Amino acid sequence: MTAALDPAAREPRDLTALSDTQLERFARHLSLDGFGPEAQLALLRSRVLVVGAGGLGAPVLTYLAAAGVGEVHVIDDDVVDRSNLHRQVIHAEADLGRPKTASAAATMRGLHPEVRVVEHRERLTAANALERVGAVDLVLDGTDNYATRYLVADACEIAGVPVVWGAILRFAGQVSVFAPGGPLYRDVFPERPEPGEVPSCAQAGVLGVLPGIVGSLMAAEAIKLLSGVGEPLVGRLLSVDALTMRFRELRLVTDPERTPVTDLSAHAAQAPRPDDAGAPGSAEACGAAGEEIAPAALAALLADPARAASLTLLDVREDWERRLRRVEAPAAVADRHVPLEAVLAEPAAHAPGQDRVLVVYCAAGARSARARDAVVGADPSSGGRVLSLAGGLAAWPA
């Protein structure tokens, strides 16, 4: 199925011919059979929104700017961290601490000075999604969490804007195009997974080159859609296994019984994230065995000598991770480090005693939740509380 965007549906721009500089810059495009000046002009007239300037966003933004997409909106509220650099190649060491949108914009303008970059240094929310999506011809979803993926998909379904979608985890990646007239995201993935059911890249890791592979495929799909050249992945899902470098294609179908998305109320009503909940000293701050503790609540416990004396911290990350960073605890706190696999092998050995609180933590919360559940399950009547640090060290103040 060939799907292209209708040039007449776009807001017109004053581009009727390529300049000499553009003829020189895009000469290799113009030499392609079936491409030509009109396809390049279509790219230059186009407006796209890239959600996320991280692993997938980096190659997407780089190649769209270089290819001649005229206006690129990028939305991301994060800053560049050193752990980003092994895969987010649009950023550099000199950009550490800089907003990702600013770093990405600088790289894009360095590749193509004529590109118009619109920075949105914010998180995509139910309050701004329809406005952001409605301002462009095409959206590329480079996010790494399900809440935002479903928000992007629902906003685009309401607005009738196509989405180029990509996902990566460990050594595997997937790409598809969800466009009006074909299967949409909720036809394929009707319900959002429960929190912690599927790990994020921060939790499970990702091969550094994989975002480049998948992001480049996403950029190629965008160029086909915007230029009208080729056959986009509408109704198809392409998966890649980087360990074997095998590609596989699945056919997608529309669910005729699915109720179309008509508003974003489900997103607006979502409960706050665990790391936003629970005030210091409140009942929610400690909870019952098997629950989470908010970073602010743990900080309050550590700062209270009387309460800290009954606290044990258990870091279930690997040795190399602990060398980089850990929760700094006062001397009164029992500070232990046991990698997850060792905890799972003997969970009862880590059960807290009567009236003690065990707080388990890891990088982002997935491993600590597994360890917490194992300890609680091994000795549910220990008399103490077992809590997982919500969001892990990723949510802990630097």
Assess whether 362 carries a catalytic annotation: yes
CB-hemisphere CA count at 13 Å for 335?
10
For strands 291-293 and 385-389, give the pairing: parallel
Residue of 299, 319, 306 whose CA lies nearest to 359: 299
- Which ranges in 135-278 belong to alpha helices (H)? 146-159, 185-188, 201-204, 210-227, 265-268
CB-hemisphere CA count at 13 Å for 315?
20
* Catalytic residue (one of 163, 167, 314, 362): 362
Sheet holding 47-51, edge to edge: 116-120, 71-75, 47-51, 138-141, 163-169, 172-178, 236-241, 246-251
Task: Scan for tokens 């001649």, then name that residue.
Answer: 68
Q: Is the dihedral of CA 165, 170, 395, 377 positive or negative?
A: positive
- Rounded Cα distance, 178 and 232, in Å: 10
- Rounded Cα distance, 18 and 265, in Å: 44
CA angle 196, 200, 206 (to 5 degrees): 145
* Catalytic residue (one of 56, 184, 201, 218): 201
- Rounded Cα distance, 65 and 59, in Å: 10
Residue 238, strand partner residues: 175, 249
Tell me, what DSSP letter sits at residue 200? -
Assess whether 201 carries a catalytic annotation: yes
User: Containing H/E element for 251?
Assistant: strand 246-251
* Angle of the 36-45 helix axis to the 210-227 helix axis, nearest 10: 110
Sequence-distant (6+) residues with CB within 8 A of 372 are 290, 360, 386, 387, 388
Give the phi and the psi of residue 25 in degrees, each rounded to 5. -65, -45
Q: Which positions are catalytic?
A: 201, 362
